[in-house]
Amino acid sequence: MSLSKKLAAEFLGTFWLVFGGTGSAVLAAAFPNVGIGLLGVSLAFGLTVVTWVYAFGHISGGHLNPAVSVGLWMGGRFPASELVPYIVVQVLGAIAASGVLLVIASGADGFSLTDGFASNGYGVHSPGGYSLLAVAVAEVVLTFVFLMIILGATDDKAPKGFAPLAIGLTLTLIHLISIPVSNTSVNPARSTGPALFVGDWALSELWIFWVAPIVGAALAGIVYKFFQED
């Protein structure tokens, strides 16, 4: 498969992840009387991954996340030559999705970016008021587990055909755990898209949602190699 097709699939897939996941949080989580709530938003993020990876994972691998690309590279499952291009298009896809979502959300009376636009944050900007340390630990640990499951589910020795389901369910569980902590990142691209439109605090706190997921993913890539040793 050509690199251009892989990058196009990553752009569109990350668009779908961010549009579907953060879109559910912005448009539907607290909709009057029938809001989908934390459970619904968690399922939305998981479903975006399941649907896209089943449909287009054979083209690009369905990373949809800079941390996933880094973790796969560290685990020896992704070429270094494609790492930066993948990350660039993933971020661009997230920004494009956030822009489209903003156009839609702005069509409702009372919408304001000051409500957060599903951005990730810590301290006063954490949904549950969690500290920077708590957010950092949660993001490192959850991304570590996410990558361990991705690496395991996509291993040649794993049962065939179930990887997208395992990965999507894991992302759902991660959101169920950590939406109250940080609004859940485990994905620097997902964090960057909304933050660019909110600006202010969202941009100043964005760094931790790059550093922590990438650290967790890199550790998983290293640790998973241990299970590959004879």
| pLDDT confidence band for 31 (50 / 70 / 90) | low
The residue-averaged pLDDT of 25-48 equals 86
Torsion of CA 180, 40, 65, 167, to 10 degrees: 110
Task: Please state the pTM of the whole predicted model.
Answer: 0.94
| pLDDT confidence band for 35 (50 / 70 / 90) | confident
Residue found under tokens 């650290």: 215
The residue-averaged pLDDT of 117-141 equals 97
Reference 168, options 46, 76, 11; nearest CA is 46
8 Å CB contact between 63 and 31: no
The residue-averaged pLDDT of 173-179 equals 96
Say what the pLDDT of residue 202 is: 97
Alpha-carbon distance values, 131 to 124, 127, 138, 179, 205 (Å): 8, 11, 11, 14, 12
For 73-97, write each residue's pLDDT tens digit. Answer: 999 999 999 999 999 999 999 999 9
Domains and CATH numbers, the chain: 3-228 (1.20.1080.10)
Reference 44, options 176, 180, 218, 154; nearest CA is 176
For residue 34, pLDDT over 80 is answered with: no
